[in-house]
Amino acid sequence: MKNEKGRIRIGSLITFIILIIILIICFKIYKINYFNGFEKATVKQEGTTFIRDSKVKYLDNTSYKIENTEYNDSTFYKEIEVEPNTPYKISCMVKTKNVECETDGENGGVVIGLLDTTEYSAPITGTNDWQLIEFMFNSRNREKVKISFRLGGNDTNCTGTAWFAEPKLERGIDDKTIEWNVGCFIIKNLDVNIDMQRYNLKTNTDDITNVRLNMKRFQEDCYTFSNGAMKVKYDILEVNTPITTITYSEEHGYYISYKDVKEAIYDIVKENQYDHVFVVCRMEDELGQINIPIYDNWIGLGGMDLYGIGYSLIRINRNGNLYTYKYGITNQVPEEVYIHEFLHTLERNMRR
């Protein structure tokens, strides 16, 4: 009888130990796959894993890990309620390993922002230790948004591994200032190859003088036309590093997009917290004999953005047409193109 009771106790103990082991295993599986209400999404079904990583973590909390072993666009996201017309900031710590885009020059990598929009932070690629990334947005007329922590990008697929930690959303106070902080970047050398032909175009002294004149007049006009409701503070910065890439669209032909200049200007834009950016570049030689192929002979393009910041391009053409930019009898509003393209940014903001 005693032996029978002993066997029962041992059997119960073994069962208890097995149950504990099963519970531990289940808890570990739960911890790996519990994402605090975040959903998972990918463009392609294969080649991506999502886990909570307890080995690679920031401080004491497990991280959110995305690994793309094949080129993919993958994200953790969560829909949250926001107050309309209110500024917010998304932030988190990010670590990356061997992150690369499917095609060179694509604007993708590790980003944070809003799902189903083009509102994202500047992408991070390569291998990097933990760093803080932040993205600010305005809710505008929205009552809900989906905050996204992403390895990929709009129309971009990436491979590699990203870890996200300490995700945070902060509500800001609406900025009531009437002052716009504007950065005007003069590209001094555009050196690109198009269809096996090299275009090496440089701004001259007159070009730079005209830009300075027009930005001053732009500042004055914004205040005058708005009846004092808008003030512009601006910096003019000369970019000495040659710009060696150019973007093509069927609507405009070749133009300088934010992707072509981001390496040269984005750190300065962030440091100075510009609200709007003008990029001014000569895209035609002084005689008009060498020119970048464009459509409709545009002199400016607006309504674009540099990671949420308004972005306008001003094209300098041949000296024979400098009346477009130079004050004189034939043109008493050479700043018109700056105002026109800037208004496209306000138009875009109102649509949003």
SS (H, E, C) 163-207: EEEEEEEEECCCCCCCEEEEEEEEECEEEEEECCEEEEEECCHHH
CATH of 179-351, one of 3.40.50, 3.40.390, 1.20.140, 1.25.40: 3.40.390
CA angle centred on 295, ends 293 and 297, rounded to 5°: 95
Q: What residues are paired with 113 via a beta bridge?
A: 120, 148
| Beta carbons of 203 and 149 less than 8 angstroms apart | no
Q: CATH 3.40.390: which residues of the chain?
A: 179-351
Instruction: Could you list the beta-strand ranges (E) of the chain.
Output: 39-42, 48-58, 61-72, 74-81, 87-101, 109-114, 126-138, 144-152, 158-171, 179-187, 189-194, 197-202, 231-239, 247-249, 253-255, 276-282, 300-306, 309-316
Q: What is the pLDDT along the chain (352 residues), one digit of tens a residue?
A: 555 555 556 656 666 566 566 555 544 554 545 567 899 999 998 899 999 998 898 987 789 999 999 999 999 999 999 998 888 999 999 999 999 999 876 778 999 999 988 888 989 999 999 999 999 888 888 999 999 999 998 888 999 999 999 999 999 876 678 899 999 999 999 999 999 999 999 999 989 999 999 999 999 999 999 999 999 999 999 999 999 999 999 999 999 999 899 999 999 998 999 999 999 999 998 888 888 999 988 989 998 988 888 999 999 887 645 556 666 666 778 889 999 999 998 887 776 6
pLDDT of residue 107: 79
pLDDT value of position 322: 57
Please state the pTM of the whole predicted model. 0.76
Are the C-beta atoms of residues 275 and 222 closer than 8 Å to each other? no
Over its C-alpha atoms, the chain yields an Rg (Å, rounded) of 27
Yes or no: say if 316 and 325 are a contact pair by the CB < 8 Å rule. yes
Position 320 scores a pLDDT of 47
Backbone angles phi, psi at 136, to 5 degrees: -105, 140
Round to whole Å and give the CA distance between 22 and 29: 10
pLDDT at 331: 72
Range(s) of the chain covered by CATH 2.60.120.260: 39-171
Considering all CA atoms of the chain, what is the largest pairwise distance in Å, rounded to the nearest integer? Answer: 118
- How far, in whole angstroms, is CA 173 from its chain's centroid? 22
179-187, strands of its sheet edge to edge: 231-239, 179-187, 276-282, 309-316, 300-306
Quick one: angle between helices 205-225 and 336-351, nearest 10? 50
Q: Supply the pLDDT for residue 289.
A: 83
Q: Which CATH architecture has domain 39-171?
A: Sandwich (2.60)
